[in-house]
Amino acid sequence: MSFTDIRDNRQAKEARSYVGSSLASKPNDAPPLVQDPPEPLFGGLPSTIEIRTSPERGRAIYSKERLKRSGTIFSTKPPIYVLSTKNLEHFCSTCISPAPPSGLKRCTKCKTVWYCNPTCQTNDWALHRKECAAMQRWAAGAPSSDVAVPAEPIRCLGRMLWGKRKRGLNSVWTREIDAMQSHRTALPPDAAESHTHLAHAVIRYLSLTAPEELVPFGVNSAAGVVDLISRFATNSITLTSPSLAPLGVCVSPLVALINHSCDPNAVVVFPRSTKDPAGQEPEVQVIAIRDISPGEEIFTSYIDTTLPRIQRQAALLSTYNFSCRCRLCSRPPEPDPREALACPKNCGGSCPFPSEEDPLTRCVKCKSAVASTDAVLDALRIGQEALQKATRLQFSDLPKAQQLTNNMISILTSTKAVPSSHPLLALTRLHQSLLLAAFPSDMTQDALDGVIRVSFASVTGLTSVLSHGHPARALALAELGKLLAVDEPAPRPATTGGGASTFPPSGPARLRLACETLVRARDELLVSFGERNDGGEVGREVREMVVRVERELAAWSQGIRNVIEDTPNLKEEEVSRFSCMTYRCCHAFGHFAPIRVSSIICITFEKK
Q: Tell me, what's the pLDDT at 32? A: 55
> Which pLDDT value is given to residue 26?
37
Q: 594 in helix, strand or coil?
A: coil
Of the given ranges (77-81, 179-183, 362-366, 406-410), which has the lowest mean pLDDT? Answer: 179-183
* pLDDT tier, 562 (very low <50, low <70, confident <90, very high otherwise): low
Residues 6+ apart with CB under 8 A from 221: none
pLDDT at 502: 84
pLDDT at 40: 84
Task: Give residue 141's pLDDT.
Answer: 87
Closest to 491 (Cα-Cα) out of 510, 463, 473: 510
- Those residues whose C-beta lies under 8 Å from the C-beta of residue 495, and which sit 6 or more positions away, are 501, 502
By the 8 A CB rule, do 473 and 463 touch? Answer: yes
Q: What is the spatial distance between Cα 469 and Cα 349, in angstroms, rounded to a whole number?
A: 26
Task: Kindly provide the residue ranges of all beta strands, DSSP E only, lying in 187-283, ordered along the sequence.
Answer: 236-240, 246-251, 259-260, 266-269
Q: Amino acid letter at 73? A: I
Angle at 340 between CA 483 and CA 472, to 5 degrees: 35
Per-residue pLDDT averaged across 6-12, rounded? 42
* Contact indicator for 586, 595 with CB cutoff of 8 Å: yes
Domain boundaries, the chain: 1-35, 48-78+252-324, 79-236, 336-459, 466-608
Q: Is the per-residue pLDDT at 93 higher than 70?
A: yes
Q: What pLDDT was estimated at residue 15?
A: 34
**Which position has the higher pLDDT, 187 or 576?**
187
Confidence bin at 602 (pLDDT 50/70/90): very low
**pLDDT confidence tier of residue 534, bands split at 50, 70 and 90:** very high
What does the pLDDT average to over 281-291?
Answer: 96
For residue 391, count CB atoms less than 10 angstroms from its CB and return exposed for 0-12, middle for 13-18, buried for 19 or more: middle
Rounded CA-CA distance 581/600 in Å is 9
List the single range of 192-196, 290-294, 309-313, 573-577 with lowest mean pLDDT: 573-577
The pLDDT value given to residue 22 = 32
Q: pLDDT band for position 83 (50/70/90)?
A: very high
d(CA 64, CA 51): 10
- Indicate the SS3 state at residue 83: strand
Region 304-332 average pLDDT: 93
Cβ within 8 Å of residue 68, ≥6 positions away: 288, 291
Q: In the chain, count H helices and then E strands.
A: 19, 14
Instruction: Examine residue 335 and say whether the peptide bond preceding it is cis (omega within 30 degrees of 0).
Output: yes
Q: Which helix (H) or strand (E) holds 406?
A: helix 398-414
In the chain, the largest separation of any two C-alpha atoms, in whole Å, equals 127
10 Å CB burial of residue 330 (0-12, 13-18, 19+) is: exposed
> Looking at the predicted structure, is the pLDDT value of residue 541 above 70?
yes
412 φ/ψ sector (left φ>0, alpha ψ -120 to 50, else beta): alpha
For residue 421, what pLDDT is reported? 98
CA-CA-CA-CA torsion sign (332, 337, 340, 344): positive
Listed residue (253, 202, 260) closest to 231, CA to CA: 253
- 383 touches 308 (CB < 8 A): no
Q: What is the pLDDT of residue 504?
A: 94
Sequence-ordered alpha helix ranges (H) in 20-78: 21-24
Burial code of 359-382, b = ≥16 C-beta within 10 A, e = fewer? eebebeeeeeebeebeebbebbee
Residue 4 has pLDDT above 70, yes or no: no
d(CA 419, CA 109): 51
Above 90 in pLDDT, residue 142? no
Q: Which residue has the higher pLDDT, 423 or 567?
A: 423
- Of 14-23, 373-382, 397-406, 556-565, which range is least confident? 14-23
Residue among 218, 184, 225 at smallest CA distance from 203: 225
Phi then psi dihedrals of residue 541, to 5 deg: -65, -40
Residues 72-96, mean pLDDT to the nearest whole number: 96
* C-alpha radius of gyration, the chain, whole number: 30
How confident is the model over 15-38, as pLDDT tens digits?
333 233 333 333 444 555 555 567
Residue 595 has pLDDT above 90, yes or no: no
Superfamily of domain 48-78+252-324: SET domain (2.170.270.10)
Report the pLDDT value the prediction gives residue 278, as an integer from 0 to 100. Answer: 61
Spatial CA neighbour of 364 closest among 351, 348, 345, 346 = 351
Distant-in-sequence, close-in-space partners of 590: CB < 8 Å, separation ≥ 6: none
Q: What local confidence, expressed as pLDDT, does residue 578 receive? A: 47
What was the pLDDT predicted at 559? 64
Please tell me the pTM assigned to this model.
0.85
The number of angstroms, rounded, from the C-alpha of 91 to the middle of its chain's C-alpha atoms is: 17
φ, ψ dihedrals at 117, nearest 5°:
-160, 170
- The stretches of 531-571 forming alpha helices (DSSP H) are 536-566
* CA gap 250, 241 in Å, rounded: 13
Mean pLDDT over residues 326-355, rounded? 94
State phi, psi for 114 to the nearest 5 degrees: -125, 150
pLDDT of residue 31: 52
Predicted confidence (pLDDT) at residue 13 exceeds the cutoff of 80: no
447-490, pLDDT tens digit by residue? 999 999 999 999 999 999 999 999 999 999 999 999 999 999 98
| 357-384 pLDDT per residue, tens | 989 999 999 999 999 899 999 999 999 9
Q: Residue 257 — φ and ψ, nearest 5°?
A: -70, -20
Please give the pLDDT value at position 275.
64
Q: Residue length, the chain? A: 608
pLDDT digits (tens, 9 = 90+) for 206-219: 999 877 899 999 99
